[in-house]
Structure formats: structure tokens, C-alpha cells
Amino acid sequence: MSISCKEWQAWAVVMAWTAVIYLTVPFAIEIRRFALEHLGGPEAFLWIVMAGVVALFVVLIRIVYRSPRQASSRGVAWLLLIAAILLYNAWQRRDRPVEALHYLEYGLLGLFLFRALRFRIPDVLIYPCVILIGGLLGTIDEIIQWVTPGRLWDWRDIGFNISAVALMQAAVLLGIRPDGIDRRPAARSIQAGCRLALVFIVLAILCLANTPERADRYTTRIPALHSLYRNPSTMSEYGHLYRDPAIGAFKSRLSPEALHKIDSERAGEAARALDEFRNPRLYDACLEAYPAHVEPFIHEARVHLWSMTHHLGILWTNRWDEPMRDDLNPARVRKHATSCYKEYQIMSIYFSNTMQRSHYAPYPSQLNTLKAHADPSPSYRSKVSRYVITALPELAFYMLLMPLAMVAIGIDLWLQLKS
């Protein structure tokens, strides 16, 4: 089938905008520095992004008012609701200005993709197809971040960007209500959706299988990828979720049995390694010397201790044997005391032998003060190892995704044979 000039133009816009999105990845640090130095901080940058969201929806509302009057009021109501959701989601990323910018970029990408796909998929399947393409481009975006120094892979960012594309499709479907969209999907549209789903599933499986151990193996064999050996950015890593009724929750790459065994058998060795890197300036050197997938016990213990001493240092800025600072408001004191005391509890209970032999414990007077100000409820969620996947074991993901891939292949083949 030939491609019209308008379709070429629509796809050119998609490709150009995708290039803009990808080009912001290596400049993320510069964007953050610009926000800090010239805009007053990440929140000021976010206000600019949110203003862009408002401007976008003003344009969409004008489009709605050009439609028949009987659809205008309801369409505007939907657009206002979706705009509010987008603004709320962007505000949730106010400490990460680049991610907030990405959110708006993927929202616009959803509109550009809809315009381009409409030439080939003029029915209701255009909406899921746009979301699938947005998911593919968002995953590639994270892969670029994975190979970019200073950037990190995050499955949550993929979902966050896909949600922007999906919300914009809702804005088109419920707000703009474009003409010419057939409610009954054509066979060709179903095949396109199945193929896009298959590509997305295969890419997701490859990313789920890209654990640090496997990445180290192939990066040592391929010279061009040697710079990714022991990449501090982890694509997929699996572990266990611990729920303690007195503390809260934290994640670990080690099972309870393995954690207890290592703490019992290697406590002295681990404590000496932790004390060697006790200076905060050597924190990154410690994590590099003991990567999480090689020495998870020492790596995780050091991160827990860093979190504990970080919050402790905010509450006691000078000498630790002096009284706690009295210039912080009660909410900040409670926040830092809770984080510090809960991390200390995690170390004292789950890394107990190592903690006893190392030299990181706060003074008894500090512990009493921390306990008095900390939140006693088990609502704490440690950020240590927060990127570790605990929802399902690795094999379970494959057992879930492979049948979906087979279904997509089967439907596509059946429609080909039928035609």
C-alpha cells in the first residue's frame, strides 16, 4: 500500500519528537544543573513543565469546541479531568525534573502517534496500538539510560511514560472524539495490534532476563560492550520482600536463610570490609568494590548504614555526643529520626552479628532520642534495594508472558490463513 504525503509528514513528526525525547537522556544532569542554578530548583522547572501541560490542554479544548455542540461540554469535562491527573502525576516527580519533562514529552508523543497511525488503523484498535508503540519507545528510552553513564534503568519510569501516552489516548477518545473512527476493528488492525504486542513482549522478556550476572558475562565477551561491565545501573534483579511487624518493609537480594547464614559465618569479614570504607567519601568506592550481584550482603549492609548515618548526620551535625539539633520542625525531626532508627533496627536484627562487630552504631543516648521521635508504626519502607523485583520470581514472568506471545502469534496466523 502506498504512503501519502500527509502520512509521511505525520511519521516524520513522530520520529523527530522521539529523537528529541532520546536526546534529553544524556543531558539530564545538565538540565538538572540548569534548573538549580537559573530557575531556583527542580520545583521551578516543574512549574514550567506543568504550564506546558496546561497550554496543551487549552489547545485540545479549543479543538473540542469546534466539534458539534452536543459533544463539547462532556468532552471538555473529560479533558479537564485528564489534565488534572496529568498535573498531579507530574507534581509527584517534582524532585526529578527530567522525568517530569519526559512525562509531558510522552504525552505529546501519544498525540503524534495517533495522528500517524490513523492513516492505517481507522478503528478503535488505534488506541491500544498507540499505547503499545509508546511502551516500545519508552522501553528503548530506558535502555538508552541503562547504557548512559550517570543514568539509571527504572521499570517504574517505563510505566510512568506509558501512562502519559495512555492518558492522552483517553483525552482523544473521550475528550476530542475524532470522527471517522470505526467501532468495529478490522482484521488488519487486529493483526497490527498482535504484532506490536508480540514485539513489546519479546523486548520485555529480554529486559527481564538482563540480570547483572548475565550482563557481566556478555559484556566481557563483546569488546564493544566492555564499558558496561559491572554497570552500576541494574536492569532486572530479583530478590525478596521482608515485612517486619515492628519496622516495616525492606527488600534484599538474599533469602532469609541466606541472609542469616552469611551473617553468622562471615560477620567478621563483612564488618572489617564495612569499617574499611566507613569514611563517607569512600561510600561509592565500597559499592564498586562489592557490587550487589557479587557481594550482596556487604553491599546491602553498607547502603543500609549509609542511610542510617545520613539521617543521623542531619539530626546531629557537629559532635554526635551533643544534644540533637533544635532548629528543625517536628515533621522533619520525625522523618529523619524514623529513617535512622528503622535502618538501625534492620541492621541490628537482620545483620546483627555484622552490626555488633562494626563501628557504625549510634551512641546509646542518640538511640533513646531517635526512638522517642521515630514513628513506631510498621509503615516504614526502606529505599535500600528498592529496584529489586519482588512481585514475582523471574521464571514466573516468563510463564506469564510466553503464553501471551503465543496467543498473539496464533491470532495473527489465523487471520492470515482466513484471508
Task: Name the pLDDT band for 68 (thresholds 50, 70, 90).
Answer: low
pLDDT of res. 388: 96
Whether residues 169 and 51 fall in one domain: yes
Whether residues 91 and 149 fall in one domain: yes
Of the candidates 27, 172, 12, the one whose C-alpha atom is nearest the C-alpha of residue 101 is: 27
How confident is the model over 1-10, as pLDDT tens digits?
A: 577 888 999 9
Whether residues 81 and 174 fall in one domain: yes
The better pLDDT of the pair 143, 96 is held by 143
Task: Name the pLDDT band for 39 (thresholds 50, 70, 90).
Answer: low
Is 127 part of any domain? yes
pLDDT of res. 100: 79
CB of 132 within 8 A of CB of 193? yes
Q: What is the mean pLDDT of the chain?
A: 89
Is 390 part of any domain? no
Instruction: Please name the helix (run of DSSP H) or strand (run of DSSP E) that holds residue 15, with its range, or none.
Output: helix 5-23
Is 389 part of any domain? no
Is 200 part of any domain? yes
- 3-class SS at 392? coil
Here the cell at position 137 is 519507545
Whether residues 50 and 173 fall in one domain: yes
Other beta carbons less than 10 A from residue 139's beta carbon? 21
Domain residues for 361? 240-381
Residue 118 has pLDDT above 90, yes or no: yes
pLDDT of res. 336: 96
How confident is the model over 198-222, as pLDDT tens digits?
A: 999 999 999 999 999 999 999 999 9
Residue 195 one-letter amino acid:
R
Whether residues 88 and 195 fall in one domain: no
Of the candidates 282, 301, 292, the one whose C-alpha atom is nearest the C-alpha of residue 358 is: 301
CB of 82 within 8 A of CB of 170? yes
DSSP 8-state code for residue 223: G
CB of 307 within 8 A of CB of 382? yes
Is 386 part of any domain? no
Of the candidates 190, 279, 185, 283, the one whose C-alpha atom is nearest the C-alpha of residue 232 is: 283
The C-alpha R_g of the chain, in whole angstroms, comes to 26
Task: Name the pLDDT band for 299 (thresholds 50, 70, 90).
Answer: very high
pLDDT of res. 55: 79
Whether residues 27 and 117 fall in one domain: yes
Task: Please calculate the CA angle 152-153-159 and round it to the nearest 5 degrees.
Answer: 130
Whether residues 172 and 81 fall in one domain: yes
The mean pLDDT of 52-79, rounded to a whole number, is 72
User: Which residues have C-beta within 8 Å of that of residue 281, sequence separation ≥ 6?
Assistant: none
Highest mean pLDDT among 85-99, 161-175, 195-209 belongs to: 195-209
Residue 42 has pLDDT above 60, yes or no: no
The mean pLDDT of 346-366, rounded to a whole number, is 94
Q: What are the angstrom distances between the C-alpha of 94 and each of 104, 181, 386?
A: 13, 37, 19
Whether residues 97 and 137 fall in one domain: yes
Is 387 part of any domain? no
pLDDT of res. 321: 63
pLDDT of res. 130: 97
Strands of the 240-244 sheet, one edge to the other:
240-244, 248-252, 380-381
Residue 69 has pLDDT above 60, yes or no: no
pLDDT of res. 86: 86
Whether residues 253 and 294 fall in one domain: yes
Whether residues 414 and 376 fall in one domain: no
pLDDT of res. 71: 54
pLDDT of res. 37: 62
The mean pLDDT of 194-200, rounded to a whole number, is 97
Here the cell at position 123 is 478503528
Is 414 part of any domain? yes
Whether residues 47 and 106 fall in one domain: yes
Task: Please calculate the CA angle 21-26-31 and round it to the nearest 5 degrees.
Answer: 80
Is 391 part of any domain? no
CB of 188 within 8 A of CB of 402? no
Q: Position of cell 529513617?
A: 339
Quote the number of domains for the chain.
3
The better pLDDT of the pair 69, 370 is held by 370
The mean pLDDT of 226-230, rounded to a whole number, is 90
Lowest mean pLDDT among 55-59, 113-117, 388-392: 55-59
Whether residues 253 and 161 fall in one domain: no
How confident is the model over 242-266, as pLDDT tens digits?
A: 999 999 999 999 999 999 999 999 9
